[in-house]
Each structure stands twice: as C-alpha cells, then as structure tokens.
Amino acid sequence: MKNMVACILGLITVPVFAQTIEGTWQMTDSRTCFQSEMKESDTEKELEGMMGANSSNSVAKIIIFKKDGSGKEGIFSVGKKKGDDMNAFQYKINDNMLLFIDKKSGMATQRFVIDELSESSLKIHDAMKDCETKAFTKVK
C-alpha cells in the first residue's frame, strides 16, 4: 500500500513539460501589452509585411539556455558569426515558471510563465503581465 501511494505521488510531481529548454532559441514574436490590445486593419498588416520584406539589415535575437543553469542572449546580424552585446544570465525552472536569477544574491529578477514548450517551440509570458508574450523557435 505504501509503495502504491509513493508511486501515485511520484506521478503527480512529474514536471508539466517533458521537453527541455536547453539549446539555442530565436525569438520569432514579441508583444507588449499595448501591441496585444491593438487591433490592426488589413491595410496595416499588408504594409507591415511589405516593410519587413524590404529590410536589408536582418537581425535575430537569440537566447541560449545551457544545461548548467547559465545562458546568454544577444542579437545576431546577417553575415556575422558572433552576436553583439551577448549578455550572460543564470536561470532556473520551477514547474512552469522560468526564473532569471541574479548571480550575486540568488534572487529571481524576472519571472515568466511557460505557456508552451515543445521540441521546436517556446512560448512564454511575463508572470506579472499576461499580455506581454514572447515566442521562440529552436535553432539548435
């Protein structure tokens, strides 16, 4: 009976996401609360697509989560092997929360709720603002 209870409790505490966050992720979408609430007309959507297509200075925001709880984030420009202004950070995952940790104090400086974590997709939102969302695609 004790073994059965232990097995049931073990199943209950299994993490919500079986997929790991480790790897390199490219931001594909980022919305502030203002952007989330704003409704675009068809003309605005069409113009936005046209303006993006003409951009010759393509950049990508990349975030790297390492196995040891550290990571880096920065911006990569077309034709460059290394990112500009790569910022190091510490992170921790608690259930469906992604916490960015201050190295010296060990306190959480930012909290995000993980909405989706799959082999190729990561979607998070600010724990304090449900309307601030970020979407990433796994690069490697």
Rounded Cα gap, residues 7 and 31, in angstroms: 41
Local confidence band at 90 (pLDDT 50, 70, 90 cut-offs): very high
Domain membership of residue 28 (yes or no) is yes
Higher pLDDT, 63 or 3: 63
Domain membership of residue 6 (yes or no) is no
Domain holding 36: CATH number? 2.40.128.280
Domain membership of residue 48 (yes or no) is yes
What pLDDT digit, counting tens, does each position of 11-23 carry? Answer: 443 344 457 899 9
pLDDT value for 27: 94
pTM > 0.75: yes or no: no
DSSP 81-130: SS-EEEEEEEEEEETTEEEEE-TTT--EEEEEEEEEE-SSEEEEEETTEE
Domain membership of residue 9 (yes or no) is no
Count other C-beta atoms under 10 Å from residue 134's C-beta: 19
Domain count of the fold of the chain:
1
Domain membership of residue 109 (yes or no) is yes
Domain of residue 74, residue span: 20-138
Domain membership of residue 25 (yes or no) is yes
